[in-house]
Amino acid sequence: MDLKRRDFVKKSLIASSVAAFSPNVLLAATRAPKQKLGVALVGLGYYSKDLIAPALLNTKHCELKGIVTGSPEKIPVWQEKYGIADKNVYNYNNYDSIANNPDIDVIYVILPPSMHKEYTVRGAETGKYMWCEKPMAPSVADCQAMIDACNKNKVGLSIGYRCQHDPNIQAYQKVMREQKFGKVKMVNSAAGYFDGRTNHWKQKKAMGGGVMGDMGVYAIQGARLSTGEEPISVKAHLSTTRPEIYHEVEETATYVLEFPSGAMATCQSSFGINMNHLQVNYEKGWLKMEPQTGYGGNRGSMSDGTTIYTQVDRQQPMQLDDDALAIKNKKPYLCPGEEGLRDIRVVEAVLKSGANGGCEVKL
């Protein structure tokens, strides 16, 4: 028995040595890492077309290499504009075969929220790194399924919170961390715009519509990032001024968040009102941001006369490069899937409270 075992071990070691020096393994070990990671966009709507694809022309660490679309008429336009090869064009049926494409390193899901879970889970199973636009998904359960799929396949998941990559947003978080004016006492965070569309996914419950998943996430982020805490309770009121359009989902939400430290936040989100500001009152001073979530960077002022302003043309290239560098350097994402889930947990609580007459919902 001992002789047979030694003979088996000897043969196994020889086989392992041969495999270690095989051409394919040697090639993989000596191949230079990619300068730019190849990104495939899933969904070619407004945000992909007007913001993310142009941003990928201005990134150092990633580039647009593929598209996934259910609209064949869009393909030639994208191929001509971005030089996308035929072999890097996919539809929703053959999406899974992207696993065999070495040109694609990252899949970025930019679809209505109701579709995020399916295409993130399927994408994770291809072995590609996963990015997903916000809102992460309509429910905490969907968010967790997405995180679990990415963890299972060891690909990681980043959520497209462009604002957290903005140095102006990072500046007000630093004020909180360093307690420049003492502890946070009260926050007011508002994010909204007038949406004149009448037939868009944002007005459809089945597609993950409603203001809370969209603009609500920005207002929630303002409160969460400025306090550095997670809320422990919510009270909310939901309303609409255009019931002929917003009869399935909420148009406007006002809600109060309580935090473990005792800090309170009043938040407003709307598809019927233009608003974009943040005010944080501390023990010994205040901070204001207006806008707090603009695409081109945000501006702030403080009670001691200090200003917050770093010029930012667009946050999306910063977001894309930060996430690509995290992959290349094997570092954590700035906004992993867990960050998206935290916001959706609050969204669910706001909707529950609003549906039940503004009752307190514990988190």
Question: pLDDT (tens digit, 9 = 90+) per residue, 60-104?
Answer: 999 999 999 999 999 999 999 999 999 999 999 999 999 999 999
Per-residue pLDDT tens digits for 159-194: 999 999 999 999 999 999 999 999 999 999 999 999
Write out the catalytic residue numbers. 134, 218
Residue ranges of the chain that CATH labels 3.40.50.720: 37-162
Residue ranges of the chain that CATH labels 3.30.360.10: 166-310+337-362
CATH topology of domain 37-162: Rossmann fold (3.40.50)
Which pLDDT belongs to residue 33? 60
Q: Which two tokens stand for residue 141?
A: 């359960």
**What is the 3-state composition of the chain as percent helix, strand, coil, each rounded to the nearest 5?**
40, 25, 35
Cα distance between residue 190 and residue 138, in whole Å: 21
CATH topology of domain 166-310+337-362: Dihydrodipicolinate Reductase; domain 2 (3.30.360)
Q: Report cis status (omega within 30 of 0) of the bond before 243.
A: no
Contact 229, 262 (CB under 8 A): no
Which pLDDT belongs to residue 92? 98
The pTM score is 0.90
Residue 9 pLDDT grade (very low, low, confident, very high; cuts 50, 70, 90) = very low
**Beta-strand relationship, 157-159 and 129-132:** parallel
Task: Locate the DSSP E strands across the chain.
Answer: 37-42, 62-68, 89-90, 106-109, 129-132, 157-159, 184-194, 233-239, 252-258, 264-270, 272-282, 286-289, 300-302, 307-308, 361-362
CA dist 320 to 123, 143, 154, 248, 297, Å? 18, 21, 20, 34, 16
